[in-house]
Amino acid sequence: MSHGIKGHTEEDGLSTAMRLLLHYIGDIHQPLHATSRVDSSYPAGDRGGNEFPLPSVDGAKNLHAVWDSVAYEFTNDYKLPFSESDWKKIGEQAETLVAKHDISESVFDELDFTKWAQESFEISESFVYKDITEGQALPEDYIEKAQEYAEKQIVIGGHRMANLLKTMSLKERVNEFQGEFDSFYPLFLQ
């Protein structure tokens, strides 16, 4: 079945939509995707920390890249497609983060995207730009606190992603059941 783009199937479209959804869920939990520093030097904003230069560490040369790397904790040393050992390492890292951060299940149940963005904005507003200077190395205490925030956001985002996917799957099952029920319902009226 075609979804409107020549040569692409509905499955292609659904695959792309799913990949984008997963990407955006990760992004919305990264504080610099929810804000931009606006001041006299950057009246139009600093593009979420991309224009906040820092000395390069493992390729992270601006504030946005530092937060993407979980404050230098994770380097981008993977090649696509992931190998079996890459998947194993990523799984182990995920298990470590989940075990390290005890977060209330009620936080995971929140599926309002606007609230997710607000939470990231609040982290950015209260911490991300505080007590740091462009072009200078980040203080060790900042790095430790940034890692803590970023790790928690990864755990929260991962659980919320899983809950959203479960919710979508359950709704699909309910819709399928409803369709089956609707087709048999007239038989009960006879």
CATH of the domain at 39: 1.10.575.10
Domain count within the chain: 1
What confidence score (pLDDT) does residue 189 get?
44
* Residue 75: predicted pLDDT: 80
| Whole-prediction pTM | 0.85
Q: Is residue 187 part of a domain?
A: no
pLDDT at 170: 76
Q: Is residue 81 reached through a cis peptide bond, with omega within 30 degrees of 0 on the bond before it? A: yes
Q: Is residue 178 part of a domain?
A: no
CA 23 to chain centre: 6
Q: What is d(CA 24, CA 26) in angstroms, rounded to the nearest whole number? A: 5
Question: What confidence score (pLDDT) does residue 76 get?
Answer: 73
pLDDT of the residue at 185: 46
Is residue 174 domain-resident? no
- What stretches in the chain show pLDDT beneath 70? 1-5, 173-190
Residue 2 lies in a domain: no
Q: Is position 188 within any domain?
A: no
Res 187: pLDDT? 47
Containing structural domain, residue 81: 10-104+111-155
